[in-house]
Amino acid sequence: MLRLVRGSKALSLGVRLLSALSISIAGGLLAAACASAQVPDSTATLGSRAPRYVPHASAPAKPKAYRMHLHGGLFAPVDVNATSPTLGLRLGRRIVSHVQGGLLVGWTFERKNLEQPVNSLPGLQPQRILARADGQLVPAMAYLQVDLNETRFLVPYAGIAAGYEWLSLKVNDYRTGEAASATYTNFAWESWGGVGLRLGPDMTFDSELFYNGGSLERDVTDPSGQSYREAVHANGVGARVGVNFLF
């Protein structure tokens, strides 16, 4: 695993750059989304006897520029045997034909309990929770995605993203009452490839495999006063499915 070593200036600059970039893209997307909502509904005059679904021939000729991808799936870090559920969102804009770019966020959650059985009665068995550890991984990245076609039923695609990632760990030992938490952060990246099934002109159902790469770190001072840096490797693979809307 490669670990980046940076000075404080480089880190702060990177963080500021990422912040500025994100704010700019967010502002642009928001303004454009507000503007696009002003387009009148071309089907508002359809009566109740209209066909169940009207083909999108009446849609404006201008291609829809924005994409929203909502997805869910499973993520398996390489360093631990803990397949975790993950949810995510990609908001993007078509840059040129077949290419889109935007922002993605996600949330991956993993919980481990130390348990012991309560009784020996038949059926569902309650477990007493003796200790618990929760981990939450949140990426916020800018991405680029290439769709290999824009009209066919099957839409292969691939994408890459880079940005920042946060990992929050919380541990509770209910036997002793002790609790601890830590947050690890760093630059990270993600890539994915998959296939979409075109459900309509403005929608695909996507299935994809992805890889998340990052070494998230934090500063620690031990009881002797010496400072260390701790790292958690968030490298892992996952699979997810989602719906991609154009608007």
Partner 1 sequence: MLRTLPVRALSGLAAGACRALLPLLFALSLSLAFRVPAAIAQTGPELWSIQLDGGLLMLNEARGTSPRIGMRYSKHFTSHVQGGLLTGFAYKGASLEAPAAATPGGESHVELARTDARLVPLMGFMQVDMTDRFWLVPFVGIGAGYEWLRLITKDHRTGLESMVTYGNIAWEGYAGAGVRLTSRVRVNGELFYNGGSLEARVLDPDGSTWREAIHVNGVGARVGLDMIFE
Q: Could you say which residues in the range 26-85 bind partner 1, by CB under 8 A?
A: 26, 29-30, 33-34, 36-37, 41, 43, 46, 48, 50-54, 56, 58, 64, 66, 68, 72, 77, 79-80, 82, 85
Token pair of 52, please?
């169940």
- CB of residue 95 to partner 1, shortest distance in Å: 17
Beta-sheet strands, E only, within the chain = 66-77, 84-96, 99-117, 127-147, 154-173, 178-200, 203-221, 227-233, 236-246
Total of chain residues touching partner 1, rule CB under 8 A: 94
Pairing of strands 178-200, 203-221: antiparallel
Q: Which of 95, 99, 111, 146 binds partner 1 (CB under 8 A)?
A: 111
Burial class (CB in 10 A: 0-12, 13-18, 19+), 236: buried
Q: Which of 60, 63, 99, 128 binds partner 1 (CB under 8 A)?
A: 128
User: With contact defined as beta carbons under 8 Å apart, do 66 and 247 qualify?
Assistant: yes
Q: Rule CB under 8 A: is residue 138 a binding residue for partner 1? A: yes
- CB of residue 70 to partner 1, shortest distance in Å: 8
Comparison of 99 and 197: residue with beta carbon closer to partner 1: 197
Q: Which of 113, 114, 211, 239 binds partner 1 (CB under 8 A)?
A: 113
Binding mask of the shown chain, residues 156 to 195, with x at each position contacting partner 1 by CB under 8 A: --------x-xx-x-x--x--------x-x----------
* DSSP secondary structure string for all residues of 38-49: TS--TTTT--TT
- CB of residue 159 to partner 1, shortest distance in Å: 17
Cα 171 to Cα 16, 131, 168, 238: the distances in Å are 31, 8, 10, 25
List phi, psi (to 5°) of 222: -80, 170
Comparison of 135 and 238: residue with beta carbon closer to partner 1: 135
Comparison of 51 and 96: residue with beta carbon closer to partner 1: 51
The single-letter DSSP state of residue 37 is T
Q: Segment 188-247, which members bind partner 1 (CB under 8 A)? A: 197, 199-200, 202-203, 205, 217-220, 227-234, 241, 243, 245, 247
166/183 Cα distance (integer angstroms) = 7
User: With contact defined as beta carbons under 8 Å apart, do 189 and 215 qualify?
Assistant: no
Region from 114-122, 143-151, 154-162, 188-196 binding partner 1, contact rule CB under 8 A = 114-122
Q: Rule CB under 8 A: is residue 24 a binding residue for partner 1? A: no
